């Protein structure tokens, strides 16, 4: 019996529609769903790996508990009991301050986890929460919170209607886009040019995206805030801004002129490495375009001025009148309204114990997690729950975190692999894979360049007894809830109600009674097996704003205060690149998904992907050669990696992708271990952060490079 199953891919933010041929319970093929109105048949190489993940013999099917002789498979009841008892013991002995949670990236791609993990967080009561947010998009949330009043009011570049797309620090042709859900983004970028528009890429590397753009501007890593300040400065100085369009809903419109008075193109040119004339032309082109939008992603967030960068991106869009209008930066209108359904966020209401880094939205910067574990004394972290995360490979100074995890009293991981992080756990609780459960993208339907909705039914039924992430969260929450009898009773009722509904029942309730009630029924949604197109983004302001006075805050004091740090950097910066080393940045390659899909043979076969890209001039200077090995060292560590000469690199800058380094002991990743690579986060420094947001500064790491012997 052949059948075709339609679903959305949940691996990355592009949420492509898939068409999966199944014969006798086995997947025959996975292709793009041509009838998906949004992705129109687009997929990348990773979609097929959903099958590999489902079939992977290394994927855990039953829970593991650590014993004297290593991990042992046990029943779910036993594993959940051991997990809860271990976490409870720490809570009883040392209080909730000694407990931490790290939530990884796949949680935001998993609606069961999104909906039910909060119950688990409440039941555990851990005071220290960390997530992949602070090695990723935290500066976006900070800027959105301070300027628009809600951490999730993220302006999305309306690339299907723009005439000028300024992309900074993002490589959507490879990453498939981020904070801009746009399946088949390459075609959309080409379409901008075909209709006479312009695409400009600012990146230290002439990327795959730069290759399809009109213009590439090479920038010295970590200096984008200076470039953006100079662009805004120039537009204001030339009187090319559009102060009227948003004037009746914006506070502080006059502020940037004063605040950025000194940031002339000439002042920032030597530090950014970009000619003043080029900066002026960028400003003129942006201001002259009918509809223009700036979008800054990873390369701008994970640097020492991430918060200022995201603020300045918004400022640029606002002063040119491009916020909240077609072809500019727009807010979405999703059927499940995550802005109305979640808290606005908050900043610096408490701080991390050792380094006193600011909280955002209840979470602490993960760059300080190991400090809070290693530093002895009152409030030391002793217990950790990780859910869908691999911080040993994904957060700065992974070796140090490795040591910190080793020293914990107790650790539980919800994950289906024994990897670099979960190998430290006392209990591993493996959920089902996405093909075994239904899916509605709560997050990325809401961050898309069109308003869309798509529900995916499960393809396979899970084996008897298997648990989905949401069921694991519930089962742990049941075992962990404390407090007065009334509190426990209340929590019991909430759990009972949510369990009875399950994710799809909660979705149905949202569609019927939520803030966007009536736009779409659950019947319409589930019947539309290719998804529903709800049209282009619509203007939402000022009604959508969540600030106290209902107006945009163009110059929020918490962010503006950080300009003094930028000024000090500008004044103290060396104009030249480091003479004896290089600045290290990251990159993504098409067949990766952060750290966790390297056990799929088809994604790792062929030439190694974890190579150090070096400009030929630098290679000559440093004595390394194409295909040879280089030892790369930073303040915190050293790795040895193969070199690939690449004239697309800005001289003085080298690039190494993250998510590799599967040569640590005790993993159960047979394929990945044979393609181990090295972890760039053994070089990134936990002390390098954006002190405004607390986000890790993973890019622009000073490194030294010397030739190394080929491995024997
Ligand atoms: N194939 C693949 N796709 C993915 C992922 C993956 O691992 N692999 N991960 C997914 C995830 S979780 C995310 S968040 C998104 C991220 O998606 P993107 O934001 O597109 O991230 P990257 O592809 O890393 O692109 C970042 C770019 O910033 C540049 N850069 C580095 N430092 C600087 C700097 O200081 N200034 C400027 N202007 N540029 C700089 C780098 O050269 C790089 O080209 O990708 C998602 N998609
Ligand atoms: N140097 C450097 N470091 C980076 C980046 C960079 O560009 N440069 N990028 C950063 C970014 S953008 C991100 S998002 C982070 C990612 O950081 P993390 O989220 O910590 O790491 P991942 O590699 O995504 O690991 C995901 C884990 O979840 C498990 N998993 C996958 N699906 C599921 C599921 O459905 N349920 C459960 N329970 N587990 C699941 C996998 O087995 C894996 O262990 O890395 C960051 N680190
Ligand atoms: S681009 Fe992203 S969503 Fe689309 S198939 Fe690839 S991994 Fe899946
Ligand atoms: Mo990410």
Ligand 1 atom at minimum distance from 176 CA: 47
Average pLDDT for residues 153-170, to the nearest whole number? 98
> Is the confidence at residue 335, as pLDDT, over 80?
yes
Of 301, 596, 612, which is best to mutate to test ligand 2, by the most ligand atoms within 8 angstroms of its C-beta?
Answer: 596
Mean pLDDT estimate for the chain: 97
The pLDDT tens digits for 473-516 are 999 999 999 999 999 999 999 999 999 999 999 999 999 999 99
Give 572's DSSP letter.
Answer: H
pLDDT of residue 573: 85
Q: How far apart are CA 140 and CA 306, in angstroms?
A: 8
Global pTM reads 0.98
| Ligand minimally distant from the alpha carbon of residue 388 | 2
Question: Is 585 close to ligand 1, i.e. is its CB under 6 Å away?
Answer: yes
Q: How far apart are CA 358 and CA 487, in angstroms?
A: 30
Q: How far apart are CA 325 and CA 319, in angstroms?
A: 13
> Is the confidence at residue 712, as pLDDT, over 60?
no
Average pLDDT for residues 237-255, to the nearest whole number? 97
The pLDDT tens digits for 561-608 are 999 999 999 999 876 667 789 999 999 999 999 999 999 999 999 999
Q: What is the dihedral of CA 247, 253, 254, 258, to 10 degrees?
A: -160
Tokens representing 663 are 């040569």
- Of the two residues 712 and 211, the one the predictor is more confident about is 211
- HSE value, Cβ hemisphere, 13 Å, CA-based, for 51: 18
Task: Please tell me the distance between residue 55's alpha carbon and the centre of ligand 3 in angstroms.
Answer: 19
Task: Please tell me the distance between residue 258's alpha carbon and the centre of ligand 2 in angstroms.
Answer: 41
Tokens representing 207 are 């990327």
The pLDDT tens digits for 261-274 are 999 999 999 999 99
**Block residue for tokens 């990897």:** 419
Q: How far apart are CA 158 and CA 121, in angstroms?
A: 35
Q: Give the helix/strand (H/E) hosting 23.
A: strand 17-23
Give 447's DSSP letter.
Answer: G
Task: Please tell me the distance between residue 299's alpha carbon and the centre of ligand 1 in angstroms.
Answer: 6
Distances (CA, A) of 485 to 122, 198, 452: 16, 63, 43
Count of Cβ atoms closer than 10 Å to residue 616 Cβ: 14
For residue 540, the cross-strand partners are none
Q: Whose CA is nearest to atom 6 of ligand 3?
A: 44
- HSE value, Cβ hemisphere, 13 Å, CA-based, for 677: 26
Q: Which residues line ligand 2 (CB under 6 A)?
A: 104-106, 110, 132, 135-136, 298, 387-391, 394, 414-417, 419, 431, 469, 586, 594-596, 658-659, 680-681, 684, 698
Q: How far apart are CA 360 and CA 347, in angstroms?
A: 5
Nearest to 41 by CA among 22, 14, 11, 23: 14
**Block residue for tokens 């933010």:** 13
Tokens representing 365 are 């910067």
Question: Is 690 close to ligand 1, i.e. is its CB under 6 Å away?
Answer: no
Give 323's DSSP letter.
Answer: B
Average pLDDT for residues 508-535, to the nearest whole number? 97
Q: 3-class DSSP state for residue 375?
A: coil
pLDDT of residue 134: 98
Q: How far apart are CA 279 and CA 476, in angstroms?
A: 54
Q: Do the beta carbons of residue 11 and residue 596 sit within 8 Å? A: no
Total residue count of the chain as it appears in this document:
712
Count of Cβ atoms closer than 10 Å to residue 498 Cβ: 20
Distances (CA, A) of 232 to 161, 242, 286, 456: 23, 12, 10, 44
Q: Which residues of 670-707 are buried (b: 16+ CB within 10 A; e: fewer)?
A: ebbeebbbbbbbbbbbbebbbbbbbbbbbbbbebebee
pLDDT of residue 1: 73
| Ligand minimally distant from the alpha carbon of residue 387 | 2
Q: 3-class DSSP state for residue 303?
A: coil
Q: What percent of the chain has pLDDT over 90?
A: 98
Q: 3-class DSSP state for residue 108?
A: helix
State the burial class of residue 343 (Cβ atoms within 10 Å of its Cβ: 0-12, 13-18, 19+). Answer: exposed
- Which residues lie closer than 8 Å to 396 by C-beta, 6 or more apart? 135, 367, 636, 681, 684, 685, 686, 688, 696, 698
- Angle, helices 469-480/485-513, rounded to nearest 10 degrees: 150
> Is the confidence at residue 310, as pLDDT, over 70?
yes
Tokens representing 292 are 């223009």
Question: Is 590 close to ligand 1, i.e. is its CB under 6 Å away?
Answer: yes
Task: Please tell me the distance between residue 594's alpha carbon and the centre of ligand 4 in angstroms.
Answer: 8
Ligand 3 atom at minimum distance from 18 CA: 5
Q: How far apart are CA 265 and CA 263, in angstroms?
A: 7
Nearest to 304 by CA among 223, 401, 416, 219: 223
- HSE value, Cβ hemisphere, 13 Å, CA-based, for 429: 28
pLDDT of residue 576: 64
Task: Please tell me the distance between residue 126's alpha carbon and the centre of ligand 1 in angstroms.
Answer: 31
| 709 pLDDT tier (thresholds 50, 70, 90) | confident
Average pLDDT for residues 642-648, to the nearest whole number? 98
Q: How far apart are CA 381 and CA 223, in angstroms?
A: 35
Nearest to 174 by CA among 583, 584, 585, 593: 593
pLDDT of residue 654: 98
For residue 30, the cross-strand partners are 20
Nearest to 115 by CA among 471, 516, 489, 522: 471
Question: Is 167 close to ligand 1, i.e. is its CB under 6 Å away?
Answer: no
Q: How far apart are CA 240 and CA 549, in angstroms?
A: 28
Give 164's DSSP letter.
Answer: E
Nearest to 196 by CA among 327, 387, 323, 362: 327
pLDDT of residue 580: 81
The pLDDT tens digits for 381-416 are 999 999 999 999 999 999 999 999 999 999 999 999
| 124 pLDDT tier (thresholds 50, 70, 90) | very high
Q: How far apart are CA 85 and CA 708, in angstroms?
A: 48
Question: Is 689 close to ligand 3, i.e. is its CB under 6 Å away?
Answer: no
Give 448's DSSP letter.
Answer: B
**Block residue for tokens 């603020």:** 311
> Is the confidence at residue 205, as pLDDT, over 70?
yes
Task: Please tell me the distance between residue 674's alpha carbon and the centre of ligand 1 in angstroms.
Answer: 25
Q: How far apart are CA 626 and CA 435, in angstroms?
A: 41
Average pLDDT for residues 94-120, to the nearest whole number? 98
| 309 pLDDT tier (thresholds 50, 70, 90) | very high
Q: Give the helix/strand (H/E) hosting 330.
A: strand 329-330
Are β-strands 532-536 and 450-453 bridged in parallel, bridged antiparallel, or unpaired?
antiparallel
pLDDT of residue 711: 58
Nearest to 410 by CA among 102, 103, 90: 90
Ligand 2 atom at minimum distance from 395 CA: 47
Tokens representing 294 are 């700036």
Ligand 3 atom at minimum distance from 176 CA: 1
Q: Whose CA is nearest to atom 1 of ligand 3?
A: 44
Q: 3-class DSSP state for residue 524?
A: helix
| Ligand minimally distant from the alpha carbon of residue 395 | 2
Q: How far apart are CA 187 and CA 185, in angstroms?
A: 5
Question: Is 174 close to ligand 1, i.e. is its CB under 6 Å away?
Answer: yes
Ligand 3 atom at minimum distance from 42 CA: 4
Ligand 2 atom at minimum distance from 414 CA: 38
**Block residue for tokens 């099917």:** 61
Question: Is 588 close to ligand 1, i.e. is its CB under 6 Å away?
Answer: yes
Q: How far apart are CA 5 and CA 530, in angstroms?
A: 10
- Angle, helices 563-572/265-272, rounded to nearest 10 degrees: 70
């Amino acid at each position: 019996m052949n059948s075709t199953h339609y679903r959305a891919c949940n691996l990355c933010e592009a949420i492509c529609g898939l068409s999966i041929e199944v014969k006798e319970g086995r997947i025959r093929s996975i292709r793009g769903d041509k009838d998906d109105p949004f992705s129109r048949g687009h997929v990348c190489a990773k979609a097929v790996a959903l099958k590999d993940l489902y079939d992977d013999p290394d994927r855990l099917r039953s829970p593991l508990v650590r014993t004297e002789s290593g991990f042992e498979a046990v029943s779910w009841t036993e594993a959940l009991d051991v997990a809860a008892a271990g976490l409870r013991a720490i809570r009883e002995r040392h209080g909730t301050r000694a407990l931490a949670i790290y939530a990884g990236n796949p949680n935001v791609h998993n609606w069961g986890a999104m909906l039910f993990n909060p119950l688990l967080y409440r039941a555990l009561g851990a005071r220290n929460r960390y997530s992949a947010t602070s090695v990723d998009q935290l500066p976006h949330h900070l800027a959105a919170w301070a300027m628009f009043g809600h951490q999730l009011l993220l302006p999305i570049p309306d690339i299907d209607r723009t005439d000028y797309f300024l992309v900074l620090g993002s490589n959507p042709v490879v990453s498939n886009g981020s904070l801009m859900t746009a399946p088949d983004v390459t075609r959309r970028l080409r379409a901008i040019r075909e209709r006479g528009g312009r695409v400009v890429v600012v990146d230290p590397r002439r990327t795959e995206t730069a290759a399809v753009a009109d213009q590439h501007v090479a920038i010295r890593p970590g200096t984008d805030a200076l470039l953006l300040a100079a662009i805004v400065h120039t537009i204001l100085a030339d009187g090319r801004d559009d102060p009227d369009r948003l004037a009746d809903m914006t506070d502080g419109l006059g502020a940037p002129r004063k605040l950025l008075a000194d940031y002339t193109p000439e002042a920032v040119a030597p530090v950014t490495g970009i000619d003043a004339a080029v900066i002026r032309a960028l400003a003129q082109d942006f201001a002259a375009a009918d509809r223009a939008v700036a979008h800054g992603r990873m390369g701008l967030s994970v640097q020492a001025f991430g918060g200022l960068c995201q603020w300045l991106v918004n400022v640029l869009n606002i002063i040119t009148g491009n916020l909240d209008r077609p072809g500019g930066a727009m807010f979405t209108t999703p059927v499940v309204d995550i802005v109305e359904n979640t808290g606005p966020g908050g900043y610096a209401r408490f701080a991390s114990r050792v380094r006193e880094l600011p909280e955002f939205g209840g979470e602490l910067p993960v760059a300080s997690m190991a400090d809070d574990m290693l530093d002895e004394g009152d409030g030391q972290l002793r217990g950790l729950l990780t859910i869908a995360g691999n911080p040993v490979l994904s957060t700065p100074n992974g070796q140090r975190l490795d040591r910190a995890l080793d020293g914990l009293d107790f650790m539980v991981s919800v994950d289906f692999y024994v990897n670099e992080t979960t190998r430290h756990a006392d209990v591993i609780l493996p959920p089902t894979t996405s093909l075994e459960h239904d899916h509605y993208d709560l997050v990325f339907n809401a961050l898309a360049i069109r308003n869309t909705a798509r529900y995916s039914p499960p393809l396979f039924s899970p084996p008897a007894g298997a648990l989905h992430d949401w069921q694991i969260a519930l089962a742990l929450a049941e075992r962990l809830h404390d407090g007065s009898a009334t509190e426990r009773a209340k929590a019991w009722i909430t759990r009972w109600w949510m369990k009875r509904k399950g994710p799809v029942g909660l979705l149905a309730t949202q569609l019927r009674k939520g803030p966007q009630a009536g736009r779409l029924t659950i019947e319409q949604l589930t019947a539309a097996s290719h998804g529903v197109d709800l049209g282009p983004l619509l203007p939402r302001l000022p009604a959508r704003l969540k600030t106290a006075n209902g107006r945009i805050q163009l110059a929020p004091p918490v962010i503006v205060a950080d300009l003094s740090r930028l000024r000090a950097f500008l004044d103290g910066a060396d104009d030249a690149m480091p003479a004896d080393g290089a600045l290290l940045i990251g990159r993504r390659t098409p067949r990766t998904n952060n750290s966790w899909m390297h056990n799929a043979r088809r994604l790792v076969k062929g030439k190694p992907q974890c190579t150090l890209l070096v400009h030929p001039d630098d290679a000559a200077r440093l004595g390394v050669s194409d295909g040879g090995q280089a030892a790369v060292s930073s303040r915190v560590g050293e790795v040895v990696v193969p070199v690939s000469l690449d004239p697309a690199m800005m001289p003085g800058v080298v690039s190494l992708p993250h998510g590799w380094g599967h040569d640590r002991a005790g993993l159960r990743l047979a394929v990945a271990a044979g393609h181990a690579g090295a972890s760039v986060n053994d070089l990134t420094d936990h002390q390098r952060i954006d002190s405004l947001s607390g986000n890790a500064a993973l890019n622009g790491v000073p490194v030294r490079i010397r030739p190394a012997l080929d491995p024997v």
